[in-house]
A and B are shown apart, each in its own frame.
Chain A
Amino acid sequence: MSTIAIISMIVSAGLLVFIVALTRQRKIREQYALIWLAVGFLILVFSIFNKLLDFLARLAGIYYAPSVLIVLMVFFGMVLGIHFTLVISKLAEDNKKLIQEIGLLKNRIETLEKGR
């Protein structure tokens, strides 16, 4: 087994442990932990069965096998980015509604207090 395979095994195992620890401490929500666990798991699989990468490369007609990894990483990064944009947009919308509601409530409280 090559050195790089061992290193990537250690790194991916570390990533998995890290994600699990964060999720256990409720620092990451389970729904977001899922995607990272999948990534860690995939890297682990690829580093153990390094023939898999060559197989995928041949399948896709890529001559230099490691570039499959790069393609996958870029793709994953984009998917994750879009996912985060979705989450942020939803948060921003919820946040806006809360701010407006607070404003309305403050106004109502002031009006009520004036009336007493």
Chain B
Amino acid sequence: MSHPITMLIVIPAFNEAESIGPLLERLQKEGHADVLVVDDGSTDGTGETVRKAGVSLISLPINLGIGGAVQTGFLYALENHYDIAVQMDGDGQHDSAYLEDLIRPILQDQADVVIGSRFIEKTGFQSSFPRRTGIKILQFLNYLLTGRQFTDCTSGFRAYHSKAVSFLSENYSVDFPEPEALIAMSKKGFRILEVPVVMKGRAAGTSSIHGLKSFYYVSKVFISIVFEYFRRST
């Protein structure tokens, strides 16, 4: 990369009107000019908040699910030739202070994909017990299939080199994509690295995964991971 490196921050948002304002303000204050919010069919005026903040906005006419929203961000990053795309949640759980840590391994050509993990140093918001159990199960399955220990395979705080962005723009599932994308990317030979981050609890709003949906989440991801493993790479 000879020209100045460009980085796009992709923030998927579904009904995050309350928490996204402060996040965007903070990013602007820190001098991150290239921020894209993908509004996944929100009904609470998330799009308006983003527009008022003067941040680039893609508003999807119909709710796709977080994977579909993030993938739209990847397509945008690809169209606009960004070198690096960072995915960050819109609910305030991800701290922009870690952006540097997240992209450094890519800049130093040590990794193509960097994941912010809350379980390396085990500080900050650690999620609830059932969730950690679910994450452990997925982690074990990931380990069986890739031989690698990812401590936080569900983390949506990630940085991608444009090669990985290009791959994911065609291979990313619409709902709960994070764990299976790891398998697909390992198989594809991308270098994946985890760096420690501290996550906060949600600033506002409620998580999209709760109750029965958690069971659906774990089983769906379980099956996707297994299928992803046995799928012929394209």
Contact = CB atoms under 8 A, between A and B. Distances in A.
8 contacts: A96-B64, A99-B62, A100-B71, A102-B61, A103-B59, A103-B60, A103-B61, A107-B59
A96 to B, nearest CB: 5
Main secondary structure of the interface of B (DSSP, over half): mixed
Interface residues of B, number: 16
A100 B72 contact: yes
A96 B169 CA distance: 12
Interface of A: 96, 99-100, 102-104, 106-107, 110-111
- Where chain A touches its partner, the secondary structure class is helix
A107 B76 contact: yes
Interface string B26-64: 000000000000100000000000000000111111101
Contacts of B72: 100, 103-104
Interface of B: 38, 56-62, 64, 68, 71-72, 75-76, 79, 174
Contacts of B38: 103
A104 B76 contact: yes
Contacts of A96: 64, 68, 174
Contacts of A106: 58-59
A99 B40 CA distance: 10
Contact of B57 (A99, A100, A102, A107): A107
